[in-house]
Chain A
Amino acid sequence: MSGARFSAKAAQRRWLPQGRRGPMPWIIAIMMFLTVLAAACALGLGQALLTMRGDLAGGYTVQIVEANAAKRAEMVRQVEGFFHAETSVRSYRVVLESRLREQLAPWLGEEAQSGDLPIPALIDMKLAPGTSLSKIKEITREIIARAPSARIDAHQSYLAPVEALMRALMWAAAGLVGLMLLVTGAVVVLAARSTHDAHRGTIDIMHMLGATDLQIARLFQRRIALDALLGAVLGTIAAAALLWLLDRNLAAAGSELAALISLPWRSAAVLLGLPIFAMLVAAVTARITVMRALERSL
């Protein structure tokens, strides 16, 4: 018989009509598409910042500005000797003058290659991780003692504005994720209220037959959670496809900065966990919304 054909849970699910799903899955799909993109942006930028900081941390360029080539060479030799002896200096490399002249050629033209134009000597130096500020100051003093005209620039300071911009973009993207989840919650609240109102008659009957608020709320919770999961999976698949295309285009562009933006497996796991999270948010929100609506009745 019809009643016996179904399990108890299946029978309970039919307490609400099993009709068309309505627009909620599609709205959730769009929200989730945007959420995944924003989350990917936040995670990618976060990863890029970490990579950039790692690459630039402890990196310095010592620029010895001395017109006299012999004196300049002597200063470089002195500084090299100091770096060699100093244990806090993990590595150093004197940039070849020919390389510098090559790099300056586009701006200075033929004169850059002639050797008549004095150019400063550059030494790239990397300090050991965790070098204290006082040690850095001490090293700076030692360099100046050996090359009074030396200028010491931290690599991090070159890209500080870029880093600030990336950080701002990362937090903006994270904020967008938060807002999207908030809006998703609001959509669920509206959908739950609308579904509750649409089935008010059935709910009243269930109440009169002794159904508890929890029994009724579970029906809505399950339905809305499934709608949310369906929408979230669709949105995530679409976003993942777009991210894959963007990744291919970035790789083809060959930009070093773009290459910094990558998603390690942990970030990918976070993105793939978003649909589950959205479903849980939807289920909890629906349950709370319906329970509150039911509390207004007797």
Chain B
Amino acid sequence: MAGCTGFGRGRSGLDMDRIIQFENIGLRYGADDEVLSDISFSLTTGGFYFLTGASGAGKTSLLKLLYLAQRPTRGVLKLFGEDVVMMHRSRLPGFRRRIGVVFQDFRLVPHLSAFDNVALPLRVAGMDEQEIAGPVEEMLGWVGLGGRQDALPASLSGGEQQRIAIARAVIGRPDILVADEPTGNVDPEMAKRLIGLFEALNRLGTTIVIATHDLPLIGQIGHAQMMRLDKGRLIDPTGALRFPPASAAREGQRPGLPLGSAQ
């Protein structure tokens, strides 16, 4: 597979299955030039990945492919070992339920309360109403919005809406969490707290993919891998551009956990 790399941490107890595979993926909208070209990489279950790149580099388009909002115009895209490019659309909801998404523009349902927005993935999945209240309240408390359960999105600040969006994305314990600039609207303290949430989720086995410009944020996750997009192409798919660099002598921060295990 051309340009394919397996980012992974090699943590004990976690398998090394390729949960996401891109092979020569291309994406174009209409008759325009490709916004993504020859993208090839694979991500392993339980990995923590950052996706960086300048504005317009194609980060959001790549994330859309990941959370099945878009199909590529060419190439092979496998999620959970199955090719989703030619998959019948009736099978897609089952895959989407395994993927949590934090949208850059939050995409909260405007007429639903904070509680109902966070509860949405559980209700969509058909969970009993009695089993929903506890986890939702706990999650809202976790993101610091325990007292605003009945608030409508319009009455919440940008940061609060972002936290609701994150709570909604993680409430269903997804296998993959895809986040587009998840800490863009929150203060550093809350950003740290949210990253802690992502790490906790990652420790439970969720594969995390975060698109961000926030270098300090990337620096907080020592074991994370980094992918960089430039003009629709993946730069250094071998993972050499991981941040912080291996030479940053952070090995001691997480004993036994290498900063990166790019192959």
Q: Which residue of B lies closest to A11 (CB)?
A: B123
Interface membership of A252, Cβ < 8 A: no
Residues of A within 8 A of B123 (CB): 8, 11-12
Residues of B within 8 A of A4 (CB): 129-130, 132-133
Interface membership of B69, Cβ < 8 A: yes
Cβ B113 vs Cβ A6 within 8 A? no
Cβ B115 vs Cβ A3 within 8 A? yes
Cβ A205 vs Cβ B107 within 8 A? yes
Cβ A8 vs Cβ B128 within 8 A? yes
Given the known A-B contacts A207-B96, A211-B124, are A298 and B116 also in contact in the complex, defined by CB atoms under 8 Å? no
**Smallest beta-carbon distance A61→chain B, Å:** 72
In the assembled complex, the Cα of A211 lies from the Cα of B68 at a distance in Å of 13
Q: Which residue of B lies closest to A4 (CB)?
A: B133
In the assembled complex, the Cα of A202 lies from the Cα of B70 at a distance in Å of 17
**Smallest beta-carbon distance B72→chain A, Å:** 12
- Chain A at the B interface: mostly helix, strand, loop or mixed? helix
**Smallest beta-carbon distance A198→chain B, Å:** 12
Question: Interface size (A, Cβ < 8 Å)?
Answer: 28
Interface membership of A131, Cβ < 8 A: no
Cβ B96 vs Cβ A11 within 8 A? no
In the assembled complex, the Cα of A6 lies from the Cα of B123 at a distance in Å of 12
Cβ A211 vs Cβ B93 within 8 A? yes
Q: Which residue of B lies closest to A202 (CB)?
A: B109
Residues of B within 8 A of A14 (CB): 111-112, 116
Interface membership of B22, Cβ < 8 A: no
Q: Which residue of B lies closest to A205 (CB)?
A: B107
Interface membership of A210, Cβ < 8 A: yes
Cβ A210 vs Cβ B124 within 8 A? yes
Cβ B69 vs Cβ A208 within 8 A? yes
In the assembled complex, the Cα of A63 lies from the Cα of B140 at a distance in Å of 98
Cβ A298 vs Cβ B69 within 8 A? yes
In the assembled complex, the Cα of A190 lies from the Cα of B132 at a distance in Å of 36
Cβ B119 vs Cβ A212 within 8 A? no
**Smallest beta-carbon distance A162→chain B, Å:** 59
Q: Mark B95-119, 1 if CB is under 8 A from A, else 0.
A: 1110001000001111111011001
Cβ B93 vs Cβ A2 within 8 A? no
In the assembled complex, the Cα of A92 lies from the Cα of B158 at a distance in Å of 96
Interface membership of A7, Cβ < 8 A: yes
Cβ A3 vs Cβ B89 within 8 A? no
Residues of B within 8 A of A201 (CB): 107
Q: Which residue of A lies closest to B95 (CB)?
A: A210
Cβ B71 vs Cβ A298 within 8 A? yes
In the assembled complex, the Cα of A207 lies from the Cα of B125 at a distance in Å of 12
**A residues neighboring B (CB under 8 Å):** 1-4, 6-8, 11-12, 14-15, 17-18, 201-202, 204-213, 215, 295, 298
**B residues neighboring A (CB under 8 Å):** 67-71, 89-90, 92-97, 101, 107-113, 115-116, 119-121, 123-125, 128-130, 132-133, 136-137, 149-150, 168
Q: 4 tightest A-B contacts by CB?
A: A210-B97, A210-B96, A4-B133, A17-B111
